[in-house]
Amino acid sequence: MLVGLLSVTVVIGVVIAVVVIVVIVTVVVVVVIVTVVIVVMVVFAGLVSVSHLTHLTIEVVVINNFLTAVVIIVVIITVAIIVVMVLSLLNIVLKIIIITIVVIIPIIIIVVIIT
């Protein structure tokens, strides 16, 4: 009885952790894909405008490089923040699992002893 309850608790904790991790990874992947698409669009828009407006080539190239640099910096910062958040969330998830196990196991033992 006790082993059954214990294993169920652990399984539930692991399932929750896995779900949270999957959600976080999905969000990160989506954000990365979106940022890459934006960067590609910005660069491509720059190239198109360069080919159309040859007399404004220098200005457009400078603006394009500046935009690209800004976008790349923003992407790097965003990715860094996401990585930090994911790590801290994983940390929190692990703490929650440990706390749940530490709290639930004594309760289960007490319940089993009482019954």
What's the CA gap between 104 and 2, in Å, rounded?
Answer: 11
Instruction: Give per-residue pLDDT as tens, 36-75.
Output: 777 777 666 666 555 555 555 555 556 566 777 777 777 7
114 located within any domain: no
Structure tokens at 33: 């894909």
Is 46 domain-assigned?
yes
Asked if residue 30 is part of any domain, the answer here is yes
Domain around 11: 2-108
Q: How many domains does the chain have?
A: 1
113 lies in some domain: no
Residue 115, in any domain of the structure: no
pLDDT the model gives residue 94:
78
pLDDT (tens digit, 9 = 90+) per residue, 67-102? Answer: 777 777 777 777 777 777 777 777 877 787 777 778
Q: For residue 84, what are the contacts with CB-CB under 8 A and spacing of at least 6?
A: none
